[in-house]
Structure 1
Amino acid sequence: MPKPAKMLEQRIDHFFSMPAERADRWRDVVAAARAWSVGRADQNAAEAAFAELGPIEGFHAFPGSALMARLSDRLRGGDAVGFTDLVRRVSAAIVTRDFKYDPAEWRTTEEVVDTPADVLPPTLRHGDAKRPYFEMLIVAPGATTQAADQIAQLRNLRRPEDAFIYEIVPVDSFEDAICAAIINPDIAAVTIFEGFNYASRHSAPVLRSVLSGLGLDGARAEDADLALLLANSLKRLRPDLDIYLLSDRQVENLAGDARSASIRRVLYAIEEPLELHLSVLEGIQDRFETPFFDNLKRYARRPISTFHALPLARGKSVFKSDWIRDMGEFYGINLFLAESSATTGGLDSLLEPTGNIKRAQEMAARAFGADHAFFVTNGTSTSNKMVHQAIVAPGDIVILDRNCHKSHHYGLVLAGGQPLYVDAFPMTEYSMYGAVPLRSIKKALLDLKAEGRLDRVKMVDLTNCTFDGHIYNTRRVMEECLAIKPDLVFLWDEAWFGFARFSPVLRPRTAMGAAAAIETWIHGLAAVEAYEKQQQELGSDPTVDELLTTRLLPDPRKVRIRVYQTNSTHKSMSALRQGSMVLVKDVDFYTVESQFHEAIFTHASTSPNQQLIGSLDVARRQMELEGYGLVLNAIEISLAIRRAVNSHPIISKYFHMLGADGMIPAQYRESGFVDFLAPDTTWASQVRSMHDDEFCLDPTRMTLVCGTAGFDGTEFKALLANVYDIQLNKTSRNSVLLQSNINNTRSDVAQLVRVLLEISNGIETRLARGGDGERNALAARVKSLMTDVPDLPNFSHFHEAFRQDAGRATPEGDMRTAFYGAYDATGCEYIPLHGDECNRRLREGPEMVSANFVIPYPPGFPIMVPGQVITEETIEFMRKLDVKEIHGYEKARGLKLLKPEVISTKLRH
């Protein structure tokens, strides 16, 4: 059936929402078919709905050309009942994914026939276990017209002993290959035959604008080897893909071509296709392998007698007990069989891995684009402290966001590094901070350089993305900082952002993604030329203002790429709580490797949890094999929530989701990007924003404003949890943070919308019954939450007693000495927050100096650190805080301060 050109143009471009939209469109076809079959609608409605499926069905193996042809035949033939029955079966198979395991779903008739197993699609004989299913993209000239022969040939190569099963998606152009890889998350491998076309047969203007932005437009392709260009483009979009190239040229030369680095194997096109089949299965097996988890399962099956200090191992103390047997029943036998405190007998040591843990960490490094990966079982708090201890020596200066996680501050206390705090832009209306402007970081470096103290700066330490979803332009930050100091080390705390590696849109903004891009740039031919040109434009003595306003390029001949990323795997992937990783891309790692291992020995438990290590191994496997699709779904879930809340006529009266324009000031959104769902916004707009803007917003993190409904964040969080069984963990004075992740489904969206509607209707009812009094009370509550908000306090300064080796123009300080000075209880005093003495000290002195960290939740960052002078701004903020949890502050005793005489003694010495 011909499809309207306009419909193709509209639908082919919506590739980021295709998985969900595809299922919805099949359901629309089912609804139209049912209406036709019972006489409530005519055939035209069914034809229109079927046409809406568009060309994207060609980018999926199921239902395939045979079933689509049968559906078209029944539709054209006016067989309403037959069309309805078949389309219902196909739609259900797509939604339930039964087509991956049930060969009956692929039949073109509803009749049960005894089809030979070797000619069926993903065939599982009766009693077989379900083998993992994936799809392989074949790019070849005439692929779409010769697909049946290619598919049959590869199906005939299947064997019962194959661990996996796959189906073929055939395309015959560069653009269709890119489209298929983006739209279809089931594609795990790509086979490229030479001789295909560049342009798609379909209209795809948005896709072409994205390709152009990536430098992959048709004009460039004419001058390049198209097969190699496609291989590299696909790998750039989806590093998880295994790519194979079949050529009838001299394959030895192709295999040795530097441009073929992204290709797993080059094969001679006329050789036995079994070699390709086996290579594809081997590639999947290479990612499917989980060295530690596989070994742990084997260990659990062995009859082992334990004479070590872990009675829980093997579970005898549990299952033979009359009193704790229920714990065994709850957790299951495998938890105990897989426990041991030994590192021999096939197991490995996390502290000094030499076997399966070492191999698992190497595979994690590959998956996340790092040179090295280290598993951590104490959470990312420990990961951050490890990096600080390994990199920072006493007296080194570290530039860091004052609002970063407390583990960074404590890491500096332990390492003896001196923090130079830089402040993020404030979002006073919502009682939260954003991210640190690059100008502030550059200013700190230039000030240190002007004082001749740049050599003392060791590291820049930032959170990406922030808790509330602010994403740095990581490449720009690192390049401009390296232009000032080419050997800087970077620590990016990506606790919430580990999943971003598996999104082609978000990946460039990750630490590892940006480090790889800089590495490619500095080795390119144009890098030195671009740097020299900028130096000529700046002249021999540029002003500080010129340096601050120029997009600086580093000298590629001097740059040392030294990047560390900490990753709370448990926060965004399928790892158990406290499962974390440290990812390393450091050309000088060999100089710090021994001290990094010392940091591991210092902070890691000598009795790490085996299940945690196993879950890190499995999380890596999942993300390599299906992470692209899972992240795609998480983004789509978040967009569905944003759309449902902000467009609902009742919910939107009391609640709303903040867009990028509400979370990021306009001066940091150079592309003009407003929001994901703003009118005329496309995913091409989002790609431009991700490429150009100083800050972007992680689409999976949604700030829901609840103050406009009269709820403070803590109160609303408790209401959702206690009454509606909806859990979240981050709040502000007048908002809560919702996170979509790889665990969420559209059912979760429906439940959230239902609950928000119920709460909104309750407000409506209360206002209607309560009259002016109720309306005035709500208005007053909203004003107190949304208007009468406390100013956010910036970091004040360290007392001079803790700045004796600091520069005059820079605010770093010796926090370690202040921290340990408070260990002497006689040198500390307490002053009530709300008392007259506090007010007097603010007016008359002596200055009040914090003896410890004070961290209110929310906002969750330290508003006081050891050695910091406490100002009226900070006191006023604390007095206005309406939170129950403030770490480091004892309400009954007051603020813990270092006594003035102790500080005077410190100054004299």
Structure 2
Amino acid sequence: MSSTMLALLASGEIVSNSAPGRAAARLQEELAQRRIDLITTVSSDDAGAMLRANSAIQCLLLNWDLPGCGNPPALNVLEQLRARNLQLPVFLLTDRETVSNMPRRALELANDFIWILEDTPTFIGGRIQGAIERYSHAVLPPMFAALTHFARVHEYSWHTPGHTGGTAFLKSPAGRAFYDFYGENMLRSDLSISVTELGSLLDHTGPIAAGERYAAKVFGADRTYYVTNGSSTSNRVIVMASVTRGQLALCDRNCHKSVEHAITMSGAIPTYLVPLRNHYGLIGPIPPDQLTEAAVAQAIQRNPLTSTADSQRAVHAVITNSTYDGLCYNVRRVEELLGESVDRLHFDEAWYAYARFNPIYRDRFAMYDSDAPKSHNGPTKFATQSTHKLLAALSQASMIHIRDGRSPIEHGRFNEAFMLHASTSPLYSIMASNDVSAAMMDGPGGTALTGESIVEAVAFRQVLARLKREYNDKGEWFFDGWQPDRVIDPSNGHKHAFHSAPAELLCNEASCWLLNPGDSWHGFGQLEKNYCMLDPIKVSITTPGMQRNGQLADRGIPASIISKYLDNLGIIVEKTTDFTILFLFSIGITKGKWGTLINALLAFKRDYDANQSLSQCLPNLLAKYPMYAELGLRDLAQKMFARMKELRSTAKMSAGFSALPDVDCSPVQAYEALVRDHVEVLPLNLLAGRTAATGVIPYPPGIPLLMPGEKFGQAGSPALEYLQVLESFDREFPGFGHDNHGVEVRDGRYHIYALRREAAP
């Protein structure tokens, strides 16, 4: 914490040569002596803007007669503040006569009063300082508060880490540069598990345990565990605590590779649930008819691996929510369907930790029923959340949330799996950032922060849609957003084109984002009504070329070229497919940030239409691959699009991921063969009829095309055809190659580990 405190004085009389103005000046001098900086503003509009923009403010001194908007303006400031922060101390500057006539609401929202013309500056300054100190202590979550206190003690340490609070770095030039870059506080708070005052992450004791209990309350769980190795580790902990050799697990085929690893390590027998795909190749939800008790039983029966299982009933089920592209299930409905077949539901919500804090996501996250009376009739639910992805936390910060139901795993047993994966030297800064993320989401702050993200995402989407409409009216092309064409106001039934719909409607009404049955924009067919919703803050920009009937147009612009162009401007996208680019509107988004993106998209259009030289718009590409020197931006786009159309890359991708391959052995059996070196590395043309020894995971979309133990199929199989398309494209267009986990590229050819024939069952 900074040793200097900060207060805001909002009063129209600050600059006047009046008795209140002179009293305010004397108060400012007194506060300066107490190391309290005082910033001033003279209107309600300025005060509201300052409170929104500067979270370092620790106290508000508010003149009841403040000029500005609202009736009265000071009450408007109070209402805005309390919508974001219930704890900030507020002193009303007024006189005793005014207080007797003040609205009850103002009295409820303020903490105290200052009689600036009656009390001495010393007395008032002491009250303000005391309020700030209490606020500074109360605003810190448990574990972070203990960590900051310990770091201030400056004790001599004889334990690890060896840099002992950063002092070791000061003994060399490189170390000094490291120290100066990261700062003393980060290094002093890098502590050993030997520090008993902070408790233990492995035993869940002390301030660390208090932080986990606090996070459980904030995120609506019965229990929460801090994880310092990312949600990849969180997924492994849950799976290995819940299911083991000889037991069945239902697994969303749209799973992160950490789930594949967890299934492999646990020895569980997976039965896969296959999600839908649309014309863009984007991954949709698992249809509800695949989640019924009868459908699950049939899927288990069809799986040849399940014949060796201890029981034909699945123990565990893993569902990805939301999907990478922002599709959110109605979890209440999923629980109703899958709860008939399995006692433990595991939702991978790595990209979705904010859902609890905005009503637009109601019933669409794992801990949705945390306010309901506890019932042991429903399945036990787990959620993994990457706190660092879309909340404010350090990389690798993750949480596991648990709500107990049928077949719970008590803490002692669960913690054995936790300790199996947790480091005995966790980074305290990561745990503290989990703590702070929970504090930021607690109370009205979570709603305010998530609401701001939605507002900015909606504003960007509407600007994009308006530009698309205006260019279309002129017969020109532009980018579009993957979102509904029209929305309906449920209060009056009025239909709005998306670009002209009231922003307030889009920001607050979940029905505007539903994937309604048969709507052509989403491309997932006759989905059950209210089953799936598009998250407004995950924005996919679509590029020309793909039509809604799944056919390619005569002309198009591959999304990878636009991503490369944006990268040259310092704009890094989250994900690129053939014709979509994904941007995440996290709580750190600003109007300036997305305004710059709009300008960059307009610049691309100008350069594309002018067929600008690649030396001007893609100099980094040209420097590395001079083979493109004779091409302009439009030339390159048309050449790539023509090849994609010839290869049918998007259709081949959908085909490759839509059908489950035949299977030879379980993932753990394939892994054991890999460890024993009962494998060989083969090019694509020799993989027909063979079995994958490792997962094959093309990025994008970053989900398994083949799991360990699954067959490549015969020559011309969907999986092999898609890999051949990728290989061919990568050779022809260097600099635009794909990232495929489980694939080695040798002289431009894809090679993959396969089980030796004698090793395959």
TM-score (norm 1): 0.61
**2:479 matched to 1:655?**
yes
- How far the C-alpha of 1:697 sits from its partner, in A, is 0.3
Residue type matched to 2:270 in 1? P
Change (3 A) 1:608 1:711: farther
Which residue is equivalent to 1:421? 272
SS at match of 1:577: coil
Q: Of residues 869, 872, 879 in structure 1, which corresponds to 2:724? A: 879
What residue number does 1:618 align with?
Answer: 436
Pairing 1:754–2:599 present: yes
Matches within 5 A, 1:201-600: 288-427=139-278, 429-442=279-292, 443-447=294-298, 455-482=312-339, 484-485=340-341, 488-513=343-368, 515-516=369-370, 520=373, 559-587=377-405, 591-600=409-418
What amino acid does structure 2 have at the position aligned with 1:432?
L
Match of 2:657 in 1: 794
Structure 2 unaligned spans of 5+: 1-8, 14-40, 69-74, 79-84, 92-99, 115-123, 488-492, 516-528, 546-554, 615-630, 730-736
The alpha-carbon deviation at position 773 of structure 1 amounts to 11
How far off is 1:795 after superposition?
Answer: 6.2
Does the CA contact (< 8 Å) of 1:643 and 1:677 recur in 2? Answer: yes
| Residue pair 2:465, 2:499 contacting (<8 A) in 1 also | no
Structure 2 match to 1:20: none
Structure-2 separation of matches of 1:674 and 1:458? 46
Give CA-to-partner distance per residue, 1:611-637, whole Å, 9 cap, x none.
Answer: 111111111111114111110010011
Partner residue, 2:581: 736
Deviations 1:578-618 (A, max 9, x none): 00000000135764432311111110100000111111111
Number of paired residues? 617
> Which residue among 131, 151, 164 is the counterpart of 2:106?
151
1:859 counterpart residue number:
701
Correspondence for 2:461:
642
Flag the 1:679–1:424 CA change in 2: closer, same or farther, 3 A. Answer: same
Letter in 2 for 1:658: W
* Offset at residue 561 of structure 1 (A): 3.2
Pair 674,797 (structure 1): closer, same or farther in 2 beyond 3 Å: farther
The corresponding residue for 1:720 is 566
Contact 1:717 1:729 in 2 (8 A): no
Distance 1:580 1:572, change over 3 A: same
| Match of residue 526 from structure 2 | none
Q: Deviations over 1:293-333 (max 9, x none)?
A: 11111111113222223122211111243342111111111
Q: SS where residue 894 of structure 1 aligns? A: strand
Does structure 2 retain, via aligned residues, the 8 Å contact 1:458–1:488? yes
User: Cα–Cα, structure 1 residues 768 and 569, in superposed 2: closer, same or farther, change >3 Å?
Assistant: closer
Contact 2:11/2:66, CA 8 A, preserved across alignment: no
RMSD over aligned Cα atoms: 4.2
The 8 Å contact of residues 456 and 590 in structure 2, kept in 1 or not, is answered as yes
The aligned counterpart of 1:254 is: none
- Distance between the aligned counterparts of 1:287 and 1:476, measured in 2? 39
Q: For residues 259 and 480 of structure 2, what CA distance do their matches in structure 1 show? A: 33
Q: Is the 8 A contact 1:287 1:624 kept in 2?
A: no
Superposed displacement of residue 374, structure 1: 0.2
The question of whether the paired residues in 1 share the 8 Å contact of 2:694 and 2:707 is answered with: yes
Q: Structure 1 residues 449, 356: closer, same or farther in 2, change over 3 A? A: same
Given that 1:659 and 1:675 are in contact with CA atoms closer than 8 Å, whether structure 2 keeps it comes out as no
Find the aligned partners of 1:432 and 1:672 in 2 and give their Cα distance: 30
Give how far 1:445 is off.
Answer: 1.9
| Partner amino acid, structure 1, of 2:651 | P
* Per-residue deviation, 1:289: 3.7
- 1:289–1:876: structure 2 CA closer, same or farther, 3 Å change rule? same
Cα deviation code 1:94-149 (max 9, x no counterpart): 33338976647765469xxxxxxxx9x99xxxxxxx9963789xxxxxxxx96536
Correspondence for 2:88 among 126, 133, 136: 133
Distance 1:673 1:617 in 2: 43
3-state SS of paired residue (1:308): coil
Q: Give the CA deviation at 1:354.
A: 1.5
Please name the residue that 1:900 is paired with.
Answer: 757
Amino acid at match of 2:103: A
Cα deviation for residue 829 of structure 1 reads 2.8
CA contact (8 A) 2:10 2:62 kept: no
Between Structure 1 and Structure 2, the one with more helix by share is 1
Question: Who is 2:6 aligned against?
Answer: none
Q: Which of 672, 676, 701 is the equivalent residue of 2:538?
A: 701
Q: Report the residue type matching 1:856 in the other structure.
A: P
Distance 1:504 1:134 in 2: 27
For residues 511 and 677 of structure 1, do their structure 2 counterparts lie closer, same or farther at Cα, with a shift above 3 Å needed? farther
TM superposition shift of 1:790: 3.4
C-alpha displacement at 1:870, in angstroms? 1.0
Q: CA deviation at 1:823?
A: 2.2
Tell me the distance in 2 between the aligned counterparts of 1:165 and 1:616: 26
How has the CA–CA distance of structure 1 residues 630 and 685 changed in structure 2, closer, same or farther, with 3 Å as cutoff?
Answer: closer
Q: CA deviation at 1:164?
A: 9.5
Question: If the length of structure 2 is used for normalisation, what is the TM-score?
Answer: 0.72
The one-letter code sitting in structure 1 at the alignment partner of 2:437 is A
